[in-house]
Structure 1
Amino acid sequence: MTVLKVGFQGVKGAYSEEALIQFFGDTVEPVTHKTFEDVCKALEDDTITYGVLPIENSSTGAITDVYDLLNKYDCYIVGESRVKVNHHLMGIPGSTIEDIKDVYSHPQGFEQSKDYLSGYNWKLIPYYNTAKSAEYVMNQNKKQIAAIASKKAAQIYGLHILANQINSNHQNTTRFVILGKNLTSDNTCNKISVVLSTPHKAGALYHVLKHFAENDINMLKIESRPVGHTPWEYYFYIDFEGNMNDTIIKDALAHMSKDCHHFKLLGNYKKSN
């Protein structure tokens, strides 16, 4: 029996791995990658069947690098998963808060814990991700360095938790997208994601968005990203409710694409609870 390979960015203990297990269960083979783009490349090269990437945090907003990759690579969103994020400060056994001089974590980990960190004069050093930061602290084996990561990462890498739940928002949640090579849809799919750009003229975006109101379609989110080769023009990433097999949705998508310079259907999938 062939085991499904699913890629994520980071190392064991990453929140992305938690999202992966939450969505697929523990019967798949998690495959670690160094960067978000490495996950997309592995999917493109067929070395994994699915990829899991974080796309949005409830405290700090969009993870813009991932939005850009969705437009760059020929992949589709086939599902989503939400993970409650609790950050902890951790060091090697025997270390104390008073020992700490440098703290390693992903920039989002620092941003989500900024209220706690403002009380200390530590040097904050951005690193690949939270779990990788925990692994680094374990390998360095120095009392003066610490990491911000999950409790699971502390357990995996044998670190001692110096401060619990240091994130400012205790409802802190990250949304992850599940990526596949093929566009899939069934009757349970109730969320659609697209990316588009419009002509650089007055009313252009309105002519696209009016199709939501005219067809009574509920828009869930809109996010803008710059078009790299054209200053002051933007890609718009839009999430909305619907199933692409519905006639109204099909017609709306067709009309929207005609009003755009660039239009890409990113996926139709089941919204996570």
Structure 2
Amino acid sequence: MLQKSYKELSSVIQAKDEELLLAKQQEDAVMNKEEFKTVTHQRDRTQASQSKPKTQQHQVKERPSVILIGTSNIKGIEPSKLSSKFTLRKLNAYTFEQTESQLRDVNKPPDVIAFHSLTNEMVENSTEHCVNKMRDIITSTLEKFPLCKIVLSAPTPRADSCSLNSQGQLISALLKNEYVNNEKVFFCDNSNLSFKGKAIQRFLSKDQFHLSSQGVNVLASNIRDAIDEALKLPKRIPAQQRNSDYRNYSHTNTDYKDYYDYGQSNTDYRNYDEPP
């Protein structure tokens, strides 16, 4: 009798165990299915992300474009060394006529066009003619490229002729006053190449007219600053400002080597502390 009861009880327990095992297997199957769905979904999302073109994943903002048109004094300015913040294309033009010709050949609108075009024209033309012609060039440039900004570089000081040097200062003053409130035109002041109105000798070549390598460095600095302003880029911090012995620039102690010692092999125009 006891043996029969034991067998019946064992059968019941075995049946219950089988039910529990079946239920556990079904539960595991459901969980595995959900886990598979989750893993598959994550894998699909990863693959979709990886399959996107790099331009969609990390869009690199194109740098602003700048065109510099000018006389022989800009020959020593190398576009790749002027700035990492924008691209520069340099075009030589020794007269107003050549400047206009270069402008006609520009098809793609740049963000900025910088002109250094006045130094040669002063020799043959009056102050009034130079101012009016430069005004016409700026007007035609803005008509062709309405969204473009203009940088107008002033005539550089010279020591070959007092009258021409004075004429350059007068042209600079008239044009600066002309565009002082113009949001499209930015004036590049080159008076730091002189002291009390007279050209600093080390910034001039032997002919007392063209710029020396040091003078080109300073001109490049001035043009760069005006372009930065036009593009609303952060102002650079001169290295001297970090030092306690910061010097005031004058005829006797001006030292631009901390700015642009472009004549050296391992330096470039970007010898400022630039914001990241």
Answer yes or no: same fold by TM over 0.5: no
Higher share of residues assigned helix: 2
Give the structure-2-normalised TM-score. 0.27
Instruction: Please say which structure displays the higher CA radius of gyration.
Output: 2
